[in-house]
Amino acid sequence: MTHNTITIDGQEVPFEVGQTIMDAALAAKVYIPHLCHYPGLTPHGNCRLCSIEIGKKSVAACTTPAVAGQQISSNTPAINAARKSITQMLFIEGNHICPSCEKSGNCKLQAMGYFLGMLDEHFPQFYQRRKIDASHADIVLDRDRCILCDLCVRASREVDGKNVFAIAGRGTEAHLIVNSSSGKLVDSNLEVDDLAANICPVGAILKKSQGYDVPIGERIYDQHTISEIGLQESIAKESKSDDN
């Protein structure tokens, strides 16, 4: 295998051919902010939090192949300001009410806001009306909090082998849909232990009857930054498909 290096903010980072910039960065413990990426799932590039700069061009680290000699800027004031704006956009597009959300403290959107020093939402709220699906016995789908990251879609398809979710609609009408004839979660084959039911970075897919088991203040991002957690995450895709 050919080993080579890219440079991220002055630091040399080795990569293997076929790796993306994000793959190489995470392997070298260099954190690039991301929400729609989860190592082990096919990268999608929709949230744009992982935007980096190569020369004058901005690209998503999670979908751009590492090429020897790339000079990459990531942790700069300008890029982080853009990332903060993108995070604010995700907040105002949905209806995120952190104090009453079960995910608070475990929520990556919230953690990203903290990480990027977001003190307000900046943009005017959209106040979109979105549907809640509480039809499933064990899982509730609250689209108010969905950030359209597509992680549940990919987790269901690639790891659970089920294809429970999809995204439909154009522009700000885009919304998460369920692959069942009624469009309801109860008529899908989603189960509580599926990765798709557990991977949601926000509080859009929540388990029922499990509220506040861990008190606020003792949750993941109450104790760690998203950059610490983001460097540890990955899905052992192979082991899951071997089990089947």
Partner 1 sequence: MNQSISNNPDSKSVHLLHRLYALQQQHLCISSESMQQVANEFCLPVSQVTAVVEFYTFFSRGPCGRYHLLLSNCTSCGYLVGGENFLLQFTQALDVSPGETRSDGLVSLGETSCIGMCDHGSAMLVNGMPLILHNADRVNHIAQLINAKTSLADWPAEWFQVHESVNKKGLLLNQNFIPGLSLKNTLAQGANEMLETILASGLRGRGGAGFSTGQKWQFCRQAEGAGHYVVCNADEGEPGTFKDRLLLRQHAESMLEGMTLCAFIIGAERGFIYLRGEYRFLLSDLQTVLAAYRRAGLLGQRILGKEDFDFDIEIVVGAGAYICGEESALIESLEGKPGIPRIRPPFPVTHGYLNQPTVVNNVETFVAAAHIAVHGSAWFKTMGTTQSAGSKILSVSGDCELPGVYEYPFGVSVQQVLQDCQASDAQAVQIGGPAGVLIGKQDFDRQIAFEDLSTGGSFMVFGVHRDLLTINRNFASFFAHESCGFCTPCRVGTQLLKNNLDKIAEGRGTRQDIVEIKRLSELIQRYSHCGLGHTAAHHVIDGLQRFPQVFEENLTQQSFMSPFDLDKTLEEARQITQRDDAAAHLK
Contacts to partner 1 by CB under 8 A: 43, 45-48, 51, 58, 60, 63, 65, 82, 85-86, 89-90, 92-93, 123-124, 126, 148, 163, 165-174, 177-183
- For 20, 99, 108, 176, 178, the CA distances from 43, given in Å and listed in that order, are 9, 31, 17, 18, 21
- 164 close to 156: Cβ distance less than 8 angstroms: yes
- 133 close to 152: Cβ distance less than 8 angstroms: no
Please report how close the Cβ of residue 190 comes to partner 1 at its closest, in angstroms.
12
The residue (of 56 and 217) whose beta carbon lies closer to partner 1 is: 56
Please report how close the Cβ of residue 163 comes to partner 1 at its closest, in angstroms.
5
**Whole-angstrom Cα distance, residue 3 to residue 97?**
46
- For 17, 93, 159, 198, the CA distances from 236, given in Å and listed in that order, are 20, 32, 9, 15
The residue (of 50 and 199) whose beta carbon lies closer to partner 1 is: 50
Query: Among candidates 35, 40, 123, 124, which has minimal Cα distance to 83?
Result: 35
Residue 65 sits at the vertex; the CA angle it makes with 60 and 66, to the nearest 5 degrees, is 105
The residue (of 51 and 70) whose beta carbon lies closer to partner 1 is: 51
The residue (of 105 and 149) whose beta carbon lies closer to partner 1 is: 149
The residue (of 71 and 182) whose beta carbon lies closer to partner 1 is: 182
Please report how close the Cβ of residue 65 comes to partner 1 at its closest, in angstroms.
7
- 89 close to 172: Cβ distance less than 8 angstroms: no
**Structure token pair of residue 10:** 């002055």
**Whole-angstrom Cα distance, residue 72 to residue 170?**
32
Three-class DSSP category at 242: helix
The residue (of 51 and 106) whose beta carbon lies closer to partner 1 is: 51
Please report how close the Cβ of residue 48 comes to partner 1 at its closest, in angstroms.
5
Alpha helices in 116-200 (DSSP H): 151-154
**Structure token pair of residue 165:** 């979710």
Please report how close the Cβ of residue 223 comes to partner 1 at its closest, in angstroms.
28
Please report how close the Cβ of residue 126 comes to partner 1 at its closest, in angstroms.
7
